[in-house]
Amino acid sequence: MFKRLKRALVTSFVGAIALGWVFAQVILHFAYIFSAPIAGWLMRREYRGVNGAGQHGDRVLLAGCAARIGPVLFTSASWIFLTALVVFQTVGARNNGVGFGTCVFSCSASKRIDLNLAQSVRVSPSSENYCRFGMVHNLSAVQHAFTNGYFL
Amino acid sequence: MQRSLRQILDDSHIAAVTIAVLLLWSLDGAFQALWIPVSRAVGFLFTAVAILDIPYFSPTLTLADRFMLATAFAYLYLAVVSFSAAWLLSRWVYGTGPIRSLTRYRKNPTGRRHV
């Protein structure tokens, strides 16, 4: 069930889009750490005299900076966890354009493998034990097969 | 086989999506930053045409003006940071600029026959 879900996320590019968006959020949150003190200082300057904000200036600036570190840590941890869950387990195989470094095979049906998008090459019967249900189980064997030209 | 983070980001297409998202945010930030002063200038012009005179404007920056400028600068900062991040990420992962790195996905099929 989980493998099927993961495979659907990989092949539909939904996982790549989601992880890319989260990675962009990580970058932006990281940039906000440096802009938060300036924004806090501007706000304090504008509201000076209204709420007596000038009394604890340094602490307010540091608090604004520290408040931005939390989202960075949370989003980066989430991104690393999700990427490790979906990507790192399947890396090692050659990228065939499907994404996440997985080799998505259909060798059980038509003995064909998609390689680099439009290019299709025939898979020899001996390579059947290298792939199962479209996911690579023995990466070193697949690399060996690629190197030795088993995929003809 | 151990692969670097750069290779993983490249193979998984995460880098491409991130670059695209950052470019979109950069465009959005630039548009929002320009929209505030431009809309105000357009309003000023329309008022001038409507009353056939020069509308009132404060010679000094009011509180509202300062807030408007701060908001515009915040959006401008978002645009600059997003574009810089997209450019740096693209240079690191693909070795080219963000637009050129995304053009390699132009001919990619949207769906696949073999799932």
C-beta atoms of A20 and B66 within 8 A: no
A129, part of any domain: yes
Closest residue to A16, CB basis, from B1, B13, B74:
B13
C-beta atoms of A17 and B17 within 8 A: yes
The predicted-structure confidence for B16-63, as pLDDT tens digits, reads as follows 999 999 999 999 999 999 998 899 899 999 999 999 888 888 888 887
Name chain A contacts of B17, Cβ cutoff 8 Å: 16-17, 19-21, 23-24
Q: Is the domain of A7 the same as that of A78?
A: yes
| Structure ipTM | 0.79
A49, part of any domain: yes
The predicted-structure confidence for A26-56, as pLDDT tens digits, reads as follows 999 998 888 888 877 777 777 775 655 555 6
Site from B12, B19, B89 to mutate, A interface, most A CB atoms within 10 angstroms: B12
A93, part of any domain: no
**Torsion, CA A14, CA A16, CA A17, CA A21, rounded to 10:** 140
Domain boundary among A88, A121, A139: A88
Q: How many domains does chain A have?
A: 2
A98, part of any domain: no
Q: Is the domain of A54 the same as that of A124?
A: no
Domain boundary among A38, A59, A88: A88
C-beta atoms of B108 and A83 within 8 A: no
Q: Is the domain of A125 the same as that of A67?
A: no
Give the domain range for residue A117.
Answer: 105-147
Q: Is the domain of A110 the same as that of A67?
A: no
Rounded CA-CA distance A68/B3 in Å is 31
A14, part of any domain: yes
A97, part of any domain: no
A32, part of any domain: yes
Which of A50-54, A114-118, B84-88 has maximum average pLDDT?
B84-88
Site from A11, A28, A90, A103 to mutate, B interface, most B CB atoms within 10 angstroms: A28
SS3 A124: coil
How many Å is the Cα radius of gyration of chain A?
24
